[in-house]
Amino acid sequence: MDIRHLKAKNIKGFLGDDEAEQLYHLAKQASQFGPCLEIGSYCGKSTAYLGLGCKENGGILFSVDHHHGSEEQQPGQEYFDSELLDKDSGLIDTFNIFRETVRDLLLEDTVVAIVAKSEVTARLWSTPLSLVFIDGGHTFKAAFTDYTNWVSHLLPDGYLLIHDIFLDPSKGGQAPYFIYQLALSSGLFEGLSIINTLGILKRSLHKQRKDEELNKWFKQQINFSH
Ligand SMILES: C[S@@+](CC[C@H](N)C(=O)[O-])C[C@H]1O[C@@H](n2cnc3c(N)ncnc32)[C@H](O)[C@@H]1O
């Protein structure tokens, strides 16, 4: 399986082709330095692209999802898909399709599925990560929790990727854009680009150091002036 074959597959999901291809390239680059992690696997579209990038380096992708769908995927909501409703439990269940995707693409030795809430997974997490892709719950609370729980695990120069960034509020919810801006204003990240709705940031120790030097310099100026 290579990227050309993968692009010919029709996997249920919400990524644009340009976004999917970026995920592949970034995971291929990042996974040389450590495992990658995604929040929001759904039926495995982003998993497929990130996973292929990791596989080509012999890397690992942790894929976190409780597999019961986000708010907007529930019955009666905008992104409800009746094919994903489990008739017995009455719950959305994406895990079977996700598993099929991973198996079909021969990614079982690359993708570690974590079937759990991301906030529970984060509780005892201690493995440094080379890439974190946030595409889980899209409420402000969910996006903010994912941001605060996971960014501290990024390695220096690691990638933070945020899906569904809409600069124009009439085009979509603002929670992902909010955490994107939070990351930028923290001084810990450099914004590299936004491809379609995929925000790409890099954990930048260099920038943090520059800010620390600047703060030190300001403090010195204040001391001199007294
Ligand atoms: C927009 S979909 C992800 C789409 C996927 N990345 C793709 O490429 O098609 C969001 C997913 O996040 C999951 N999710 C929402 N809140 C979550 C939480 N707190 N913990 C784990 N998964 C969550 C949902 O179950 C859903 O499958």
| Residue 69 Cβ < 6 Å to ligand 1 | yes
Listed in sequence order, the residues at least 6 apart from 79 whose beta carbon sits closer than 8 Å to its beta carbon are: 14, 70, 72, 73
Please tell me the predicted confidence (pLDDT) of residue 220. 72
Give DSSP secondary structure letters for 55-86.
Answer: HTTT--EEEE--SS--GGGSTTSTT--GGGEE
**Active-site residue 138, yes or no?**
yes
- Rounded-to-integer distance, Cα 44 and Cα 127, Å: 23
Q: What is the pTM of this model?
A: 0.92
| Residue 15 Cβ < 6 Å to ligand 1 | yes
The side-by-side arrangement of strands in the sheet containing 61-64 is 111-114, 61-64, 36-39, 129-134, 154-162, 198-203, 189-195
| Closest by CA position to 50, among listed 70, 69, 22 | 22
Task: Considering only CA atoms, give the Rg of the chain.
Answer: 19
| Residue 99 Cβ < 6 Å to ligand 1 | no
10, 19, 37, 41, best to mutate for ligand 1 pocket (most atoms within 8 Å of CB): 41
Residue 221's φ and ψ, nearest 5 degrees, are: -60, -40
Residue 13's φ and ψ, nearest 5 degrees, are: 170, -175
Selected from 3.40.50.150, 3.40.50.12280, 3.30.565.10, 3.10.20.30, the CATH number assigned to the domain covering 3-224 reads: 3.40.50.150
> By the 8 A CB rule, do 49 and 9 touch?
no
- Rounded-to-integer distance, Cα 10 and Cα 34, Å: 29
| Å from CA of 185 to ligand 1 middle | 26
**Which atom of ligand 1 is nearest the CA belonging to 136?**
12
Per-residue pLDDT averaged across 41-64, rounded? Answer: 98
Per-residue pLDDT averaged across 94-104, rounded? Answer: 98
Q: What percent of the chain has pLDDT over 70?
A: 92
> By the 8 A CB rule, do 159 and 193 touch?
no
User: Taking 80 as the threshold, does the pLDDT of residue 218 lie above it?
Assistant: no
> By the 8 A CB rule, do 44 and 98 touch?
yes
| Residue 30 Cβ < 6 Å to ligand 1 | no
19, 24, 42, best to mutate for ligand 1 pocket (most atoms within 8 Å of CB): 42
How confident is the model over 147-194, as pLDDT tens digits?
A: 999 999 999 999 999 999 999 999 999 999 999 999 999 999 999 999
